């Protein structure tokens, strides 16, 4: 546990659900944990006892990526962890593959087509899932992504070749999307299991991220917007190359600051914790410190996003991590650029560089 984590209260200490099993974290709310084949090696998913249109069953929140291993764990859950009851709805916090990958499959009842239920998402997230699935490209791969990363200083030809080859990255992890959905919007109240859950949308990490807060349980399902151990990735992507996602993310954090101090936060990565206000303050301070590092670097000489990566990430990164890191370095540069603190120019090699104005 690092120094910042020691300021938080982990509600269940070292308890972790075994894959394919659930652990109760509050009345009617259960924690499921699935593996991921990345450096970030897990995702937390949530099962909520529910009653919908007079039927008893479950709401599933987020799905994991599409893989045979995770399908098998879900089949085990369907057979042994749902008390013989069906899934009544699938709800996804946002479109990223670890959250959306198996949503269509779960909505249709897994391998044995046990049920056929609606996906609930915000418009922005559902639309992005459809676009990414249909476009054969994403912020992680394809020709447009390779050009984007090259324009911000990624120069290794092998890395760029691998990025070009990953045009099917999103559709591999999210092989299908439901053709219909039910829309969630900011401040909507969703009745789940006799409790009212308020939708809190957030921006910067993804298009229109949906967190859920239940006042009766003092519980927030935070998705990726508030994580206990790592900072949420906030990146500029090739689809919106002049965006300012860090400003959106920092603004969005304010939407959680009015929640009670004793709120239990259920994050998508890490462990359930209390200390929401403390964690938000830590995240704000983290970005203040990173922005000052970027200012100092740009004051010394013009900097590309690739130049900034080793200042912000002082460990060896694989290519998957590098694409996220470069996107995040660029997000910090763009905040200063949009605020008028930095200026941008493109050098003779076609690389964008930023210096203090």
Q: Of the candidates 357, 224, 231, 206, which has an alpha carbon nearest to the alpha carbon of residue 290?
A: 231
pTM of structure: 0.96
Q: Which pLDDT score is estimated for 240?
A: 96
Up-side HSE of residue 211: CA atoms within 13 Å toward CB? 26
Q: Which pLDDT score is estimated for 138?
A: 59
**Model confidence at 139, in pLDDT bands (50, 70, 90)?**
low
What whole-number percentage of the chain has pLDDT above 90?
94
Asked if 31 and 77 count as a contact pair (C-beta separation under 8 A), the reply is: no
- 234 pLDDT above the threshold of 60: yes
For the chain, how long is the longest CA-to-CA vector?
Answer: 66
Asked if 217 and 26 count as a contact pair (C-beta separation under 8 A), the reply is: yes
**Model confidence at 1, in pLDDT bands (50, 70, 90)?**
confident
Average pLDDT over residues 219-247: 97
> Distance (Å, rounded) from C-alpha 291 to C-alpha 245?
14
> Distance (Å, rounded) from C-alpha 151 to C-alpha 157?
13
Return the DSSP state at 262. Answer: T
- 201 pLDDT above the threshold of 60: yes
Residue 240, Ramachandran bin (φ over 0: left; ψ between -120 and 50: alpha; else beta): beta
Average pLDDT over residues 275-296: 98
> Distance (Å, rounded) from C-alpha 206 to C-alpha 186?
15
> Distance (Å, rounded) from C-alpha 158 to C-alpha 142?
14
Q: Which pLDDT score is estimated for 76?
A: 98
Q: Which pLDDT score is estimated for 184?
A: 99
**Model confidence at 135, in pLDDT bands (50, 70, 90)?**
low
Q: 84 CB contacts (<8 Å, ≥6 apart)? A: none
* Tokens at 154, concatenated: 């990624």
> Distance (Å, rounded) from C-alpha 92 to C-alpha 158?
35
Q: 222 CB contacts (<8 Å, ≥6 apart)? A: 211, 256, 265, 266, 267, 268
Q: Of the candidates 270, 279, 273, 275, which has an alpha carbon nearest to the alpha carbon of residue 11?
A: 273
Q: Which pLDDT score is estimated for 250?
A: 98
Q: Of the candidates 122, 126, 51, which has an alpha carbon nearest to the alpha carbon of residue 89?
A: 51
* Coil, helix or strand at residue 108: coil
Q: Which pLDDT score is estimated for 137?
A: 53
CATH architecture of 5-296: 4-Layer Sandwich (3.60)
Average pLDDT over residues 108-115: 98
What does the mean pLDDT of the chain come to? 96
Q: Which pLDDT score is estimated for 134?
A: 80
Q: Which pLDDT score is estimated for 3?
A: 86
Average pLDDT over residues 34-40: 95
**Model confidence at 157, in pLDDT bands (50, 70, 90)?**
very high
- 189 pLDDT above the threshold of 60: yes
């Amino acid at each position: 546990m690092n120094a910042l984590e020691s300021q938080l209260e982990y509600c269940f200490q070292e308890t972790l659900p075994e894959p394919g099993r659930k652990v109760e974290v509050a009345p009617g709310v259960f924690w499921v944990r699935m593996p991921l084949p990345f450096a970030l090696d897990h995702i937390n998913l949530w099962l909520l006892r529910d009653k919908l249109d007079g039927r008893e069953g479950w709401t599933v929140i987020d799905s994991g990526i599409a893989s045979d291993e995770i399908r098998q764990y879900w089949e085990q859950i369907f057979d042994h962890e749902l008390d013989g009851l069906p899934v009544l709805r699938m709800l996804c916090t946002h479109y990223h593959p670890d959250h959306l990958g198996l949503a269509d499959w779960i909505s249709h009842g897994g391998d044995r087509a046990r049920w056929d239920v609606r996906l609930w998402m915000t418009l922005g997230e559902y639309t992005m899932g459809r676009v990414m699935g249909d476009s054969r490209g994403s912020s992680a791969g394809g020709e447009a992504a390779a050009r984007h990363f090259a324009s911000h200083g990624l120069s290794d030809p092998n890395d760029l070749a691998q990025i070009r080859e990953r045009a099917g990255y999103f559709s591999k992890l999210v092989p299908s999307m439901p053709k219909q959905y039910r829309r969630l919007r900011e401040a909507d109240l969703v009745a789940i299991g006799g409790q009212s859950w308020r939708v809190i949308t957030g921006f910067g990490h993804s298009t229109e991220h949906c967190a859920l807060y239940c006042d009766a349980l003092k519980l927030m399902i935070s998705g990726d917007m508030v994580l206990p151990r790592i900072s949420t990735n906030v990146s500029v992507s090739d689809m919106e190359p002049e965006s300012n996602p860090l400003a959106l993310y920092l603004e969005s954090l304010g939407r959680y600051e009015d929640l009670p101090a004793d709120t239990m936060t259920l994050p998508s990565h890490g462990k359930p914790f209390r200390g929401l206000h403390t964690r938000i303050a830590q995240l704000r301070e983290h970005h203040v410190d990173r922005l000052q590092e970027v200012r100092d670097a740009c004051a010394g000489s013009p900097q590309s996003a690739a130049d900034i990566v080793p200042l912000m990430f002082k460990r060896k990164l694989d290519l998957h991590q590098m694409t996220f890191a470069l996107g995040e370095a660029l997000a910090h540069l763009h905040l200063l650029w949009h605020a008028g603190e930095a200026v941008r120019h493109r050098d003779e090699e076609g690389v964008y560089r930023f210096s203090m104005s």
